[in-house]
A and B are shown apart, each in its own frame.
Chain A
Amino acid sequence: MADDNKEKNITRRTFIKNTGLVAGGVVGGSLIGGLLTSQWQTRQPTENKKTTKSLQEARVFFSREEDFAVLEAATERIFPKDDNGPGAVELGVPYYIDKQLAGSWGTNAKEYMKDPFIQTQQVHEYQHKTTKQDKSGPNTSTKLPTPTPRYQSRLNRSEIFIEGLRKIDQVSQKKYNVPFPKAEVDQQNEVLKAFEKGEVDMKGVAAVTFFHLLVQTTLEGVYSDPVYGGNKNMMGWKMKEYPGPRMAYLNDIDKEDFILMEPEGLRDYQSHGS
């Protein structure tokens, strides 16, 4: 027990240091401490009970559990559980994002990342006036209708996420005196809206750019093939009545009625021939 407490305290100190809360003098330490403690107390037993978790559900990019907890809460607000079915967390979206950020996309391996990265008013305006991906020219009806910011940041995507998630938590602490994962749903929504509207200042990147990335990756996690870690048990596809990759619709393309199929994933598709 003593060791447990020690660990908690370290976490708490780090948390407070990172959020700059004490410096800002917004909240008393005991309140934060209480919140944090209760957060840990409720989290730990649940985690132990989750025996159905797949072996892939562990963090490989986010080191700090606090960052991941903010990600979980934020993605759940973007795609919440409702009568239609599961939300982002149940679908494994946070783990999907974690894996994406650990890979070549997260480190901008195939993007032009050469200097100079100009930060001017012009760049600022580009980041706040974005086109939806499905409205940016020919062939784009195949694109997700989230905005595409003009990317002029020195930060790669994984760095943007770290900074953005910590900023979300700071804003929540500042506005509501509560860590983002513990805030009320309405409060969480308000915090995210502040990012969406660009009312929050981030370093090296616009808050709207980060927010659009967050929305885009959340939807990707809901609907990409389960092989990437989201869309758990193809529940995203089930909700959308999407069948997954199939060989052919040659005989169905001209059918009048909607055809509902049990989804199949890439794993099924690739084992067709073997």
Chain B
Amino acid sequence: MAIKLDKVDVVVVGTGWAGGIVAAELAKAGKKVVALERGEHRELADFTGVKDELRFTNRFELMQNLSHETITSRNTLDETALPVRTRDEMMAGTDLGGGSVHWAGATYRWWPYDFEMYSKTVERYGKNKIPDGMTIQDWGIKYDEMEKYYDRWEKTAGISGEPDPLGAKRSSDYPTPPMKESPPIHLFKQAAKKLGYHPYQVASANLSEGYTNPDGQTINQCMYCSFCTQYGCDFGAKSDARVTVIPAAQATNNFELRYESYARRVLHKGGKATGVMYVDTRTGQEYIQPADVVALGAFTFTNNRLLMLSGIGQPYDPKTRKGVIGRNFNGQFNITFLGARGFFNKKKFNLYMGAGALGGTMSDFAADNFDHTKLDFINGGGIELRQYGDGAIASNHVPKGTPGWGPEFKDKSLFYANRNLEVWYTPAIMSWWHNYLDLDPTYKDDFNDPLLRVTNKYTDQDRNIAKFGVEKCKEIMKEMGANVIDEDDIPDEFDHIYQGGHYAGGVIMGADPATSAVNNYLQMWDMENLFVVGGSAFPQFAGHHPTATIGALAYRAAEGMENYLKNGGKLA
């Protein structure tokens, strides 16, 4: 029997950037906030002195334990979806701070074009440019309205960067200067410049200097120690929810965090959410947390699944193409982040040094910054050279044609360990009627609830944009002077490997309730006191890393919740 707790103003599911920002903003506004985190408490001491590649990169220490719950995956409607069983195939964060703790830190604003992608594509190229079955849409908000939220998030996170020479208008500079330029980044920028492009330093959440944000939280200076992506920072020098918005919420005394609290249902009555039912996973005890506003700020998969399990909103049906929950699943998988790897026989780099977001980039082939009239795809992506800092296990790259094991492999992998660089393209991913989320008919979690099912396949758009990117990367790598240049292969089909955390959509935003689940405050059209915050709101995936946009949207949603608590009603 569930224990019913005292009502609060807001209950938030999830404590990453999305949930954390919402919790902090409402607690600061004097609202009583409870946050439910399915994972454990994490603090700096959990990340100090544990620089261990095997444990974090190969064994996924910080990722979700899949023995309780995972997803199933298939390409097409007529296939049987199979569970994504191992953490080699599924990267999803958990514990305090969620995915923000182990992110790389690369920070991009998305383009004015991205937010009005459908209209602007039609405007410039005509309706026929958008292929039949592609379900991209405008976000119901424009970049100019998003700008202040981007600015807000960048200041909370203390982002280190310099303006993109081709970038959209900014109301202010990045709060801290760009990171240091390492020799590989210098080489990349020189080559790009020579080719007439506009390279600049990747804006980074690994901070170039110590910084105190407007909430009074301090983030330290990055040490370039390389234990960054897939790790929690040893020094509190990577901006995440755990070092920024969570302590800001805690400082208000209006905020309570509950760990090992696994949300199972959003409860609702008469078209309004009444609270969240969750289980304390240590005891198995069920609790009901009533609230005036329910905010889902969990990962894409959890946000979608909770709505489906709770019977909220009309589920998307690919056969009729009606319904919204689960519609427009999108994300970056094995057809993205492809490019060219160069092997240098006479140059040696300190590749064991680095930071998650240390890199050079350029936007010449991003969004609609280049003419697509004669191209067989729309949108674009960033071109990056990143210096993460290679671990010894990971740094086994050898030129194509080299066997993957044995004497030749050993010899070449040792020789090239500090002599190879990759330039890659981060293309946008469009939405299609056949890519969606629903509940799996067969596989269940520990509580016997159905798992979420992903149906996702590639189209010519995906293959063509990837091919275009590989060509551009190869051109730059050639200019960089590599002796051997290997182009990445373009995969035919999605391989069901969920690595990198860029999976989005399903509870998408828009201006029309027939094609979107939430309005531009991330308020559910069907349930005005329920807000669904995070990458789940992306109608399609732009050609850059998503975190800044998730942060900005969370600030927008928090503002919406505050308005709602004051005035009630639909916000858009």
By a beta-carbon cutoff of 8 Å, the part of chain A in contact with chain B is 77-80, 82, 84, 105, 108-114, 116, 118, 120, 122-123, 126, 129-131, 133-146, 148, 150-152, 189, 192, 196, 215, 218-220, 223-225, 227-228, 236-237, 239-243, 245-250, 252-256, 258-259, 266, 269-270, 272-273
By size class, the interface of chain B is 35 or more
Answer yes or no: B226 CB below 8 A from chain A CBs. yes
Do B230 and A150 touch (CB < 8 A)?
A: no
Do A256 and B183 touch (CB < 8 A)?
A: yes
Do A84 and B410 touch (CB < 8 A)?
A: yes
Using CB atoms, name the residue of chain B closest to A78: B405
Choose from A112, A218, A236 the contact partner of B66 (Cβ within 8 Å). A112
Do A247 and B386 touch (CB < 8 A)?
A: no
Choose from B226, B337, B396 the contact partner of A249 (Cβ within 8 Å). B226
Of the listed residues A114, A189, A225, A253, the one surrounded by the most CB atoms of chain B closer than 10 A to its CB is A253
Do B352 and A111 touch (CB < 8 A)?
A: no
- A82-B410, A138-B501 given. 17 additional CB < 8 A pairs? A78-B406, A112-B66, A112-B69, A112-B86, A131-B334, A134-B394, A136-B334, A136-B495, A137-B334, A139-B230, A139-B499, A139-B501, A150-B89, A249-B226, A249-B389, A253-B180, A254-B181
Using CB atoms, name the residue of chain A closest to B396: A145
Interface of B is mostly: loop
* Selected A-B contacts with CB under 8 Å, 9 pairs: A126-B82, A131-B334, A135-B337, A139-B230, A141-B394, A143-B394, A225-B53, A242-B352, A254-B180
* Complex Cα–Cα for A120 and B81 (A): 12
Of the listed residues A189, A225, A242, A272, the one surrounded by the most CB atoms of chain B closer than 10 A to its CB is A242
Do A138 and B502 touch (CB < 8 A)?
A: yes
Do A219 and B86 touch (CB < 8 A)?
A: no
Q: Given A139-B500, A249-B226, do A243 and B352 touch, yes or no (CB 8 Å)?
A: yes
Answer yes or no: B5 CB below 8 A from chain A CBs. no
Answer yes or no: B229 CB below 8 A from chain A CBs. yes
Answer yes or no: B545 CB below 8 A from chain A CBs. yes
* Complex Cα–Cα for A110 and B226 (A): 26
Among the listed stretches B153-161, B411-419, B472-480, B525-533, which one makes contact with chain A, having 4 or more residues with CB under 8 Å of it? B411-419
* Contacting residues, chain A, for B410 (C-beta < 8 A): 79-80, 82, 84
Do B333 and A110 touch (CB < 8 A)?
A: no
* Complex Cα–Cα for A253 and B353 (A): 6
Do B417 and A249 touch (CB < 8 A)?
A: no
Do B444 and A142 touch (CB < 8 A)?
A: no
Do A142 and B394 touch (CB < 8 A)?
A: yes
Choose from A77, A105, A137, A253 the contact partner of B337 (Cβ within 8 Å). A137
Do B407 and A82 touch (CB < 8 A)?
A: yes
* Complex Cα–Cα for A139 and B337 (A): 8
Choose from B70, B183, B225 the contact partner of A248 (Cβ within 8 Å). B225
Using CB atoms, name the residue of chain B closest to A109: B67
Q: Given A111-B67, A144-B393, do A122 and B53 touch, yes or no (CB 8 Å)?
A: no
A218 to chain B, nearest CB (A): 8
Q: Given A140-B500, A249-B226, do A123 and B57 touch, yes or no (CB 8 Å)?
A: no
* Contacting residues, chain B, for A215 (C-beta < 8 A): 404-405
* Complex Cα–Cα for A122 and B225 (A): 43
Choose from A116, A122, A152 the contact partner of B79 (Cβ within 8 Å). A122
Using CB atoms, name the residue of chain B closest to A217: B58
Q: Given A110-B66, A116-B442, do A246 and B225 touch, yes or no (CB 8 Å)?
A: yes
Do A248 and B224 touch (CB < 8 A)?
A: yes
A249 to chain B, nearest CB (A): 4
* Complex Cα–Cα for A148 and B332 (A): 17
A168 to chain B, nearest CB (A): 14
Do A219 and B230 touch (CB < 8 A)?
A: no
* Complex Cα–Cα for A196 and B89 (A): 20
A72 to chain B, nearest CB (A): 15
CB contact list, B471-527 vs A, under 8 A: 488-489, 491, 495-502
Do A137 and B411 touch (CB < 8 A)?
A: no
* Complex Cα–Cα for A114 and B497 (A): 19
Do B224 and A253 touch (CB < 8 A)?
A: yes
Answer yes or no: B422 CB below 8 A from chain A CBs. yes
Do A189 and B406 touch (CB < 8 A)?
A: yes
* Complex Cα–Cα for A106 and B79 (A): 30
* Contacting residues, chain A, for B336 (C-beta < 8 A): 137-138
Choose from A220, A253, A273 the contact partner of B182 (Cβ within 8 Å). A253
Do A131 and B497 touch (CB < 8 A)?
A: yes
Answer yes or no: B127 CB below 8 A from chain A CBs. no
* Complex Cα–Cα for A227 and B80 (A): 42
Do A112 and B229 touch (CB < 8 A)?
A: no
* Contacting residues, chain A, for B89 (C-beta < 8 A): 148, 150-151
* Contacting residues, chain A, for B79 (C-beta < 8 A): 122
B393 to chain A, nearest CB (A): 4
Using CB atoms, name the residue of chain A closest to B56: A142
* Contacting residues, chain B, for A116 (C-beta < 8 A): 442
Choose from B50, B337, B396 the contact partner of A144 (Cβ within 8 Å). B396
Please name the 4 residue pairs, one residue from A and one from B, whose CB atoms are nearest each other, closest first.
A138-B500, A245-B51, A248-B223, A223-B392
Using CB atoms, name the residue of chain B closest to A259: B350
* Complex Cα–Cα for A116 and B442 (A): 8
* Contacting residues, chain A, for B422 (C-beta < 8 A): 141
Do A258 and B348 touch (CB < 8 A)?
A: yes
Q: Given A137-B502, A252-B350, do A110 and B67 touch, yes or no (CB 8 Å)?
A: yes
B473 to chain A, nearest CB (A): 13
CB contact list, B383-431 vs A, under 8 A: 386, 388-397, 404-407, 410-411, 414, 417-418, 422, 424, 426
* Contacting residues, chain B, for A248 (C-beta < 8 A): 223-225
* Complex Cα–Cα for A84 and B223 (A): 31
* Complex Cα–Cα for A82 and B396 (A): 17
Choose from B50, B82, B183, B444 the contact partner of A123 (Cβ within 8 Å). B82
Do B495 and A150 touch (CB < 8 A)?
A: yes
Choose from B49, B58, B181, B395 the contact partner of A220 (Cβ within 8 Å). B58
Answer yes or no: B375 CB below 8 A from chain A CBs. no
Choose from B391, B394, B411 the contact partner of A84 (Cβ within 8 Å). B411
* Complex Cα–Cα for A224 and B349 (A): 21
* Contacting residues, chain A, for B352 (C-beta < 8 A): 242-243
* Contacting residues, chain A, for B180 (C-beta < 8 A): 253-254
CB contact list, B99-143 vs A, under 8 A: 104
Do A82 and B70 touch (CB < 8 A)?
A: no
Using CB atoms, name the residue of chain B closest to A211: B405
* Contacting residues, chain A, for B417 (C-beta < 8 A): 240-242
